[in-house]
Structure 1
Amino acid sequence: MLKTFRIGGIHPPENKLSAGKKITPLAPPEQVIIPLSQHIGAPAAAVVKKGDPVRVGSLVGKANGFVSANIHSSVSGKVSKIDDALDASGYRRPAIFIDVEGDEWEESIDRTETFVREKAVTAEQIIQRITEAGIVGLGGATFPTQVKLTPPPGSKAEILIINAAECEPYLTADHTLMLEKGEEVLTGTSLLMKAIHVTKAVIGIENNKKDAISHLQRLAANYKGIEVMALKTQYPQGGEKQLIDSIIRRQVKSGALPISVGAVVQNVGTAFAVYEAVMKNKPLIERIVTVTGKAVTNASNFRVRIGTPIQKLIDAAGGLPEGTGKIIGGGPMMGKALISTDVPVAKGSSGVLILSEEEARRKPMMDCIRCAKCVNVCPMGINPTTLMTATEFTNWELAEKNHITDCIECGSCTYTCPANRPLLDYIRLGKGKVMGIIRSRKA
């Protein structure tokens, strides 16, 4: 029997429309907008100014704290300005605007397609290179990778888990990456194992990607300590705590980190980025992004430079379909609606989903009928309807008491609610408020 997590979960229609589509490189745009905050933690501090020339791979933003990440130019050209720009959150934040001129790369970057399997590097050198390259979690959370690789005192990693579930409907960027860059993913996994001093790694893949499972299993036979595990197709299988439960049958307690059960979890895209950073000296300047939707002419998986406007991806996929109702950054479950197609691709941009007006239209909200479906499907074992009520009435004490900060924002509750209640919308609002209260209390 295929393994899965033990609490909650759903199985929405998969709609993997771009599965089987090879990675298509997208040419750099005329201008990129590179946000200085593309990660959890403190925004990077700009180290360039208006008029400065840059190359592909030049450092343009320096990590500004322990939980922060370097930012690099994804193009060559000249800095036109440093100003606020819209990002995927809908807020205006500091960004570096670069006018593109040619495509000159930093000479230290190995641009060849030659696969590099071995390199004499220590664990410390691996972490240092990851830090310098600005690698963050590419599954969406964008947590700086070097921080995850340096557990707090008293904690010790026992196993590395590579999240290759890609449980979000529609998205296929990770699936395609595994098929086309399997050796690089496995080498990146080996480097991560070495960095945290473990001898075992498991790559967890949902069973709806049988070709990727068989491909990586065949390749992994030549990599010591790496197992490729097929998992039940069940959303949100790619949730960090759910994946740990599925693979090693350990549950992370409320408020605790995965390292508390001996696990370090990294996304499969992050493993590939680590390979490029360590073996090719390439910073995180591009990523794979799925552009999809039932009305999209050419649903695709693009390799895109960071900072490219979303509109360029939509154009490459055949343009915006007539009758579009909403454009989502990410997938339909955890993604958020974009307010403009000028929003740039960032390190955490996994997909662009285009929904028709009919698909995007919300049904009228009705009164809660106390059916408890939302409770049954919640993978964190919390009560979504109680948390929505607490947020509605600004009862932050009740919200905190009922573990609102444990919510992983997977959207299973909203998806399953027969009364069409926007449970996740309210919980996100309340979670942000309660986390702010907790920070103030600690300060």
Structure 2
Amino acid sequence: MSSHPQTIRVAISDLNGVMRGKRLPGDYALKLAKGAVQLPLSVINVDVTGADIEDSPLVFETGDADGILVPTGRGPVPLPWLDSDQPLYPMELRRSRDTPFEADPRTALRWVLEGFTRHGWTVQAATELEFTLVDDAGHALGPVRNPLNDRPVEMAEILALGHMDAFDSFLTDLYTGAQEMGIPAQTVTSESGIGQFEITLHHQEALRAADDTWLFKELIRGMARRHGMAATFMAKPFEDDAGNGMHVHFSIWDADGRNMLDERTPEGQARLDGAIAGSLAAMEGATLIYAPHANSYARLVPGAHAPTSICWGHDNRTAALRIPRGGPETRRLEHRVAGGDTNPYLVMAVILGAALHGIDKGLTPPEPITGNAYDQDCPQLAPDWATAIERFETCPIMAEIFPPLLRDCLLRCKRQEMEVMDGIDPDAHWKTYLDTA
């Protein structure tokens, strides 16, 4: 990456996690911290097609005022899938240089994390991202072609090293690109879907983990295109195949490096109980964050490897909330509900905000389940998009976690998207979601 690139990019995350921004002359890099670049505040509140929200308060109440872009400190980041040297500066959208904008998703996560800071704690988090390589050249979405023989991949290859060999060039470039971007990519596995892979990112400070997940999704899409394929995080690319999830692991630590969820002490046990109980209490109301699109609900089917039951268990992958194996000194939670088609900032904000809610309220969880969660009588996530919107709007925990303006904008966005997607043949939904979800 050159120290004097001809052009640079600046980008924010909208409510769907889509990058919105500008391409600028390279010398603008020196002006970014001064607030030299502006975007309309309403750009946060566009729908998944990129259209303005018809009744957005950001247009009618503010006159579609401009906001100021402020660097997050995460850039400049190279974009290895491009031929040109065009580094990206991730930004936050603010009302002014010193005044946050309540609807900015990254700001929402920062505010949740400030609640942990008030306790003297930090949050370490990591994500596991599932994605599917596909062929989008035809009228219908098709399975990816094997680079070794150019034939469509016809079956899942769970944990098959030979399957990864076929895509070695792509995966190698993905690791190299992640290293160049400063993203701590760890394990890659061949998953249970056709052309599906999962890559884990290393545990790190939660805001950085969300930043890296947001950037990593762009790297995966861009590098797939460079290799003549498409990569999608759609929750359910193919009707009869596995869906894509995004699992979030998190733990809580004090300034002395002690795990606050270590159940060997009464205080640690109470915090662990509270984090579990708060996570469960928020799940139904938070379904819209975990499943934000029409296609998302094709994944949330009982028995299809995506958790639908609001429950928890020890090392139980059928439960929505899993306590992985490990000693109490490294205790963490794995939240397994979110689809790959989600906004990492909003997902982490609601997961961590719910956990903190449970800790602060001293909530107590039900007993952990044993066995298959799908065979047990447990509370369920919102079953469809319309119900998820309604439950998000009325859930008091969502009102506690997210500012009113963000909730209002998200609700208007999703209601407009419902109308848009209702007018499109479900078999063509992939054309909307392939590169945006």
TM-score, length basis structure 1 = 0.28
Q: Choose between structure 1 and 2: higher helix proportion.
A: 2
